[in-house]
Amino acid sequence: MQPFRLRRDARDWFKDLRDDDSFKLDFDVFYFCFIAGIAKIRKSPVTNEHTAELVSNFPGRYAGRGKLLVALFLARELDYLGVTMNEKTEVHSSIAKLVDPTAPHSLSDEGVKHFNQYAHGGYDVLLEWFSGDRPRSLETFLRIFKQNLDTALIPTV
């Protein structure tokens, strides 16, 4: 079973928020990177040598929200693949490759790989949103994150 993996440079970028205990888990860093990647539909493959293994399941306060994160991931991944809900066979086939109902996080190894790629790509998105400057306080981080997230989620016509 594949674990969630965090880019080492992302972990360092959030240093101030981790040091002041705003982010109590490394998964907090992973979560914000993942959400940014999902919002901008940005994936980036990163080798294991540039990442640190996190956990094999959703930890702490994320445990109860794991299914929601997986659903968000599946919806975005289907968008990324260009699969519409009208294509029932393709939807089923695509989801079957990404989901493993016996895994603690409900994702197949392939699913975790792509889930991680959204988090890795999301870190690049955060660098853009913050103009490369790392966050120094939780309040500033959340304000800038929300402003950019709201903009990213506005549908384009």
Q: What is the pLDDT of residues 64-91, one digit of tens each?
A: 999 999 999 999 999 999 988 888 999 9
Evaluate whether residue 33 is within a structural domain. Answer: yes
- Total-model pTM: 0.92
Cβ within 8 Å of residue 95, ≥6 positions away: 74, 78
Please give the pLDDT value at position 49: 87
Q: How far apart are alpha carbons 9 and 52 in whole angstroms?
A: 10
Evaluate whether residue 124 is within a structural domain. Answer: yes
Q: Is 51 helix (H, G, I), strand (E, B) or coil?
A: strand
Please give the pLDDT value at position 124: 96
Give the model's confidence band at 156: pLDDT under 50 very low, under 70 low, under 90 confident, else very high. low
Q: What is the pLDDT of residues 21-52, one digit of tens each?
A: 888 888 999 999 999 999 999 999 888 888 88
Please give the pLDDT value at position 18: 86
Q: How far apart are alpha carbons 138 and 29 in whole angstroms?
A: 12
Tokens of 81: 């693949």
Phi, psi of 99, deg, nearest 5 = -115, 140
Q: What is the pLDDT of residues 95-153, one digit of tens each?
A: 999 999 999 899 999 999 999 999 999 999 999 999 979 999 999 999 999 999 999 88
Which residues constitute the domain of residue 95? 5-152
Please count the structural domains in the chain: 1
Tokens of 83: 């699969």
In eight-state DSSP terms, residue 5 is E
Please give the pLDDT value at position 47: 85
Residue for token digits 């969630």? 4
Evaluate whether residue 23 is within a structural domain. Answer: yes
Q: How far apart are alpha carbons 74 and 146 in whole angstroms?
A: 22
Evaluate whether residue 122 is within a structural domain. Answer: yes
Residue 63 pLDDT exceeds 80:
yes
Alpha helices in the chain (DSSP H): 8-13, 15-19, 26-40, 66-81, 88-98, 109-129, 138-152
Q: How far apart are alpha carbons 123 and 139 in whole angstroms?
A: 19
Catalogue the E-assigned strands of 18-141: 51-53
Evaluate whether residue 114 is within a structural domain. Answer: yes
What is the arithmetic mean of pLDDT over 61-65?
Answer: 91
Q: How far apart are alpha carbons 144 and 1 in whole angstroms?
A: 35
Please give the pLDDT value at position 58: 93
Evaluate whether residue 157 is within a structural domain. Answer: no
Residue 1 pLDDT exceeds 80:
no
Residue 61 pLDDT exceeds 70:
yes
Of residues 43, 57, 42, the one with CA closest to residue 2: 57
